[in-house]
Amino acid sequence: MNFSSVSFSALQQQAQNQVNQSMSALTQGMMRLATGKKINSAKDDPAGFIATELIKSENAGIRAKLKTTQAQGDKLSVVDRYLANMSSVLTDLKGAIIEGANTGALSEDQIVSLQMQIDMAVDAVERIFKTA
């Protein structure tokens, strides 16, 4: 082996190392372009990768809590509608009972009509309880 073959091997090795580095940088750049992310693996930025994973985990937890809160809000809306219906029916029932208590001023037909209103209101209350 002479000096020129040793220096050629060293140059060849340097060139190969530079090609490998360029390919690695190209691959990393292509990955970033494809994903739109600066950090795709722990190799890119270990601390940043860990922080990103923690944020993703927290975000998933927040989304789950938000979904649960929305479902609970929907349930509360349904309960509110039931309570509004119940309040309306009970107000009508109270009015019919008060009106029916004044039996001296009512005819027999009016009393029968009030009793029907009361029976219908009680049935409505039972339906609301069964469906709630």
- In the predicted model, what is the mean pLDDT of the chain? 86
Q: Are residues 64 and 126 in the same domain?
A: yes
Q: Are residues 103 and 115 in the same domain?
A: yes
Instruction: List all residues 6 or more positions away from 118 whose beta carbon is below 8 Å from its beta carbon.
Output: 93, 96, 97, 100
Domain that holds residue 29: 1-36
**pLDDT of 11 higher than 70:** yes
Tens of pLDDT, residues 75-86: 999 989 989 988
Q: Are residues 14 and 57 in the same domain?
A: no
Mean pLDDT for the stretch of residues 57-69 = 96
Please give the helix or strand (H or E) that residue 94 lies within, else none.
helix 46-101
Q: Are residues 29 and 53 in the same domain?
A: no
Can you give the pTM of this predicted structure? Answer: 0.51
